[in-house]
Each structure stands twice: as structure tokens, then as C-alpha cells.
Structure 1
Amino acid sequence: MEEDSTGYSPSLWKELTDLGWAGLMFPEEYGGAGYGFVELCVLMEECGRALLPSPFHSTVLTFGLPILLGGSDAQKQHYLPAIASGSMLGTLALTEPSASFEPSGVSVRAEARNGGYVINGTKLFVLNAHTADELLVAVRTSDDGGPEHGISLLLVPCNASGVEITALSTIASDRQYEVSFTNVEVGADALVGSLNQAWPILKQTIDRAAVAKCSEMVGIAQVAFDMSVDYAKNRVQFGWPIGTFQAIKHKCADMVIDVDGSRFITFRAAWLLNEGLEAAKEVAMAKAWTSDACRRVCAQAHQIHGGIGFTKEYDLQLYFRRAKNGEVFYGDADLHREVVAQEIGL
């Protein structure tokens, strides 16, 4: 799938949507299963274990969720059943050359014109833009007030005139794209939520997407740990399994502490979000801890495996590269430590 032009199997995607995964957390009235965010995070952990290549994260979490949170009833009726059934793919175009997930990072302009909007600018790191039917684009429609004011969300067909999509090279070989907009015109009905008031929708989306990414990293770390313990039990050196040596045993102990700690802190944040409780600190804590912990686990796994762990024929490198990808998505550990510090009054 890393070498495939699509990056995932459409037939497998159909199987997953037939199981109801894409509509897992959408209400039943929109063709979903009516489950909550915690259940989705359980699924995301398993996706991390399998390194599932699919448009699930981009379509369900970054495209469908903001429509569920802030879309009109007509938009929900149109998009959510299509997402749940697998007949539509979408993605969020948020980040720009600043790579910021803060409101100040949104500078792509959309000007009101002829009863609609005209978009100009460039977005980066847009997941699965090459297969998406529509983009949900964060744009700046006003400069009045602070950076959180003046941000709007617009739906843009990927085949609209003036949209150009260019592939980016990434360490995880996932499908991220630069999307440029040159005088792209959309109608007034493309607006999701209220004009100039989209940041609260985006913030809720980013928080949930970040915790879902943490769940995925928990699955990645679990497999890296399991592979390492199994290898330590079976790799013999100096007449003994290497797992009998204290240096290896303590590495494995550190790894399981990181894995279980990540799972606990991630699902704590997921539960708070699911219950509609204040979770800014807990979300930031989960992303800060899990980003570093997953990287540590994968790095220790490479140390335990030695040279074989760095070969392309061995699966460990696949997990390490995706752990690095997850570490920086939705902000790295340093950014989220700043959020935690602010939340505790520093």
C-alpha cells in the first residue's frame, strides 16, 4: 500500500464500511450506529495495531465530525449518511506553511462575492486529498477581533476549477498533499456553521482527532512491545535468551509502563470528551505523553532487536515510521506541554 497510488484498498474499505465502522459515532438518524467517541477510540487502537491504510481518519474524524458538530440539518442529511455508507470520502484542509494547529495559522482567504465565496491560498498536509470527493477548508473571512474570530469552514469539491493537488513525501509514506486554491468559487450553501465563528467547531474536531491519533499510537506501541518481548524470549546470545539479561528486561519494563500509561491517559481524555466535560488539559496531557511514549517504545524495540529491526523486510520499521508521523500530527509534545502549563495557570 505504500507503493500503491491510492494508498489503501477500496475493496477493504467497502468491507469496513459494510461493517458500519464509518458511521460508528454518527446518530442513527443519519445512517450511523449511534455509538460514542470512546468506542471509536477502541477501534482506532486496533487500526494502529494493524497499521490499517484507509481514509477512515480523514473522512470520519476530520470531515464528517465537523459537519456533525456544526453543519446545518440539510448538510448533515446529505453528507453523514453518504460517509457512513462509504459512498463519499472527504478531508479537512486546515494547516498551512506555518504547520500550526492554532487559529493564528489560518490565513487562506475567502472573500464574499456574487452571493458566495472566492478562495485563494495554499493548504499543506491534507490527508487523502487525492481520493476525497470534497474538502472542508478552514478559511479566514474577516480580520476583525482576535485570531479565533474570522475563521469559517467551506465545503469545496475536489474537482472544482482552481483546485490543484500535489503529493508530499512523508516518513510514514501516508498520503498527504499540498492543496492550492486559485480563485475557487463556492456558493453560500458551502458554509458550515456560522460565518466567522468556525473556530469552536475546529477546536472540538482537533481535540477529538488528536485523541483518536493517540489511540492509534497506543496500538502501534503495543505491537512494538509485543514484538520485542517475543524476540527477547527467543533470541539466544551467549547461550541464554537475551530477555534474561537485566539490560533487556528493564527496557521491556519501561516499554510496558509507557504502553499502559498511554492507554490510560488517552482513554481518560476520550471519556471526558465523550461525556461533554471540560477536557483541554487532559487532551493536551494525552497527546504530550503518548507522542513521546510511543516514540520511546519504538526506539527501545529497535535497540532490543538490533540490526534486524532496521531492515525493510521486518515489520518494526513500519511501526516506527508511523509512530513518528503520529508524534507531530495535531501538535507535538512541546506544544501540548505549553497547553498543560496554561491550563494549570502557568
Structure 2
Amino acid sequence: MDFTLVEEQQMLADLVGRFVEKEYSFEARRKLSATPRGWSELHWNTLADMGLLALNVPDEYGGMNAGVAETMIVMEALGRGLVLEPYLSTAVLGARLISHAGTDAQKERWLPELAAGRVKTALATLEPGARFDLSTVTTAARSSSEGFVIDGRKGVVLHGDSADLLLVSARTSGAQDDTTGITLFAIDPKTPGVTLRGFPALDGQRVAEVHFSGVSIASEAVLGVIGNGYGLLEWTVDHGLFALCAEAVGTMAKLAEMTYDYLRTRTQFGRPIGEFQALQHRAADILTAVEQARSVVYFAASRLAGADADERRRALSAAKNLIGRCGRFVGQQAVQLHGGMGMTEELPVGWYFKRLTCIDMTWGDAEHHLERYGTHL
């Protein structure tokens, strides 16, 4: 796969870069994260007007039917600004899952609205006590005369409190750890029995705890095949992992740039501290880590759309593992090279490190994906 940007891709990168530079100064982001919603409806509409929400939607439903490279370009740019809007949850996870597994009626109902920014989605899959295991599902979906009745809990649902549509994994058969018997559902969060509690995560992004108590839904809410949703869920999460890895590259690159600027401007003993050889070596190590991370994202992109599921999973786990380790290294070095200021909330450095930490913990940290890689050898 050739990752040299063609003219249209470079224009896309420039477009998103200008948006981030204009709208996401550090102070503007701090104020925005402190609002009850935690993100800007105006920014969301701007993303829709720019066509970014339509990238992963098929063209017959008002989208652009873009590829993996376009998602990588956008997510890397958003990572540079620590963008708060629910782009990953909606324009990547929601768009990919519904486009891939939805019925014609589901696609016609939701995809045009999603591309226009009028529908936001959230993937509700991880449960309390399950850690990162997608197959540990205790949320139950019982058959009823009208369709299904759902009971259970989902934790740390990215932007769950902003969603107009919850994409939920529930068990229709089998034991709680079986990969078979899992079904995916599209549920309106306003349905009686659905309770959401939203709160800010460590990095300022919004997450939610979701509780289902006797939630009655129609059979038309099923996504894919009943009882055979695990493979679809893993495929969707792999696309989310790839997007997170691309975002982390942008976050690390921006953090490195801020650190280099500080080394050039901070003086000690009458000289910029960047002239001291020991700190130059550490700066070089940061650059090496960033480029390693970028390379592994390119590798994951080349395997993401392949037909071999095991190869895809190995590539995504390898990328997530290396991204987690590189992100931790770059964040630690940036904080240490900034000295005491690096620990304060008034400096952007700490917030970039927090975001990298949260990316590492989303859908499996570095150690989890090292184990996952081994299971798919």
C-alpha cells in the first residue's frame, strides 16, 4: 500500500489541520471540556459541513465511501488538537458497523442522518468486571412477543451520554464467556428502561455508564445475524483501534513539537537547554518513538481491509501494543523535559499525556494486546 498522499488526501489533511489550528487552542479546549456537554455542537456541525462525518458512509447514502487512509489522515489531525467531539464513536465506529452489517432499511434510516451530523452513535460493549474481553457479555437479550427484552450494564461507553443511537452487544444464548450467542442491537437511548450516567474521563473526553432494565425492542433493532455478532463486534472494534492508533500518532507528534520548542527557548547557564547533548539524545529518542508509531499505523492500515481475520487482528494488536509503549515513553519524556511545569494542568503537556494514557487503556492496553497477538499466531 502506497502511503504517499495524493492531491485530494493532502487537501483533506490541510482542511482538518486548519480546523484544529483555528478552533482548538489549549484554552478553548479547556473551557469546552468544562461545559456540561463536554464538546461543541457548533464544531460538530462544522465537521458535518466539511464532509468529515460522511467519509466512511457509502456514497449511495450521502457519504464519500472513503478508505482507510482517509480515516488515518483525519484521526491524526484530530489527535494534534485533542478534539473532544464524538468523531470516533459516530463517523468511524457507527458508520462502519451500520454500513457493513445493517439491513437496507437500517442503512436508509440512519446513514444519511449520520453523514449530515443529525445522528450520533456510541458503541456499548465492555461490561463491569470484563476488563477488555469483548466476549464476556452478561447483558441478556430475551426473546419476547415484540422482539427482545434487554437487561444488563455497559461501562465506559465513549460519548454514550451524547448518543442518539446505542450500538449494544447482548447475549441471546450461551455462557457469559462464549464467543457464540452474542447479538448486536441498535437501541434508542430514550427507550424506557435505558439509564445513562455521563461523566468526564481522565483526559476530558466524555464517557457514560449505561444500564438496561427491561428494555423492550423490536426485532428490527438487530444488527447482523442473531447469535453471530462476536466476529462483527471484533471487526468494528479493530477499526476503532486503528483510528485510536492514528490519533495517538498525531498526539505524540504534537507533544514532541511542544517539547522541542521548549528545549529551544528555555535557557540555563546562559544557553538554551536544547544545546546540552544529554537532552539532545532524549529529543532524538522521542522522535524515534514517534516515527516507530507512525510506521506501525501504516502497517496496520495495510492489513485492516484484508480478508484474513487473524492477520488483521495480529496487525491491530501489534500496532496497539507499540502505540501504547511509545505513547507512554513520549509522554514521560515530555513531562520530564518540561520540569515541574510538566505536571501542572495549566500546561498542555500533561493533557496530551493523559490522552495517550486513555488511548492505551481503550479496548485493551499494551499488555493485553501482546497476549492477543499471541493467540492469533
Q: Into which bin does the TM-score normalised by the smaller protein fall?
A: over 0.9
**What residue is the counterpart of 1:28 in the other structure?**
59
**What residue is the counterpart of 1:73 in the other structure?**
104
> What secondary structure is seen at the aligned counterpart in 2 of 1:4?
coil
**What residue is the counterpart of 2:268 in the other structure?**
237
> What secondary structure is seen at the aligned counterpart in 2 of 1:35?
coil
**What residue is the counterpart of 2:146 in the other structure?**
115
CA–CA separation in structure 1 for the residues paired with 2:327 and 2:223: 35
**What residue is the counterpart of 1:150 in the other structure?**
181
Task: Note the 1:1-346 alignment, pairs <5 A.
Answer: 1-143=32-174, 147-276=178-307, 278-344=311-377
Q: Contact (CA 8 Å) 2:153, 2:211: kept in 1 or not?
A: yes
> What secondary structure is seen at the aligned counterpart in 1 of 2:345?
coil
The CA RMSD over aligned residues, in Å, is: 1.5
CA–CA separation in structure 2 for the residues paired with 1:284 and 1:169: 27
> What secondary structure is seen at the aligned counterpart in 2 of 1:130?
helix
Unpaired runs of 5+ in structure 1?
none
Q: Which moved more, 1:90-99 or 1:139-148?
A: 139-148
Q: CA deviation at 1:279?
A: 1.8
CA–CA separation in structure 2 for the residues paired with 1:86 and 1:337: 36
> What secondary structure is seen at the aligned counterpart in 1 of 2:53?
coil
| TM-score, scaled to structure 1 | 0.96
CA–CA separation in structure 1 for the residues paired with 2:176 and 2:124: 23
- Percent of paired sites with the same residue: 35
Q: Contact (CA 8 Å) 1:17, 1:85: kept in 2 or not?
A: yes
Q: Contact (CA 8 Å) 1:64, 1:79: kept in 2 or not?
A: no
Q: Contact (CA 8 Å) 1:125, 1:168: kept in 2 or not?
A: no
> What secondary structure is seen at the aligned counterpart in 2 of 1:264?
helix
CA–CA separation in structure 2 for the residues paired with 1:276 and 1:20: 28
CA–CA separation in structure 1 for the residues paired with 2:337 and 2:307: 42
CA–CA separation in structure 2 for the residues paired with 1:219 and 1:281: 23
| TM-score, scaled to structure 2 | 0.88
Q: CA deviation at 1:169?
A: 4.8
CA–CA separation in structure 2 for the residues paired with 1:87 and 1:211: 25
Q: CA deviation at 1:99?
A: 4.2
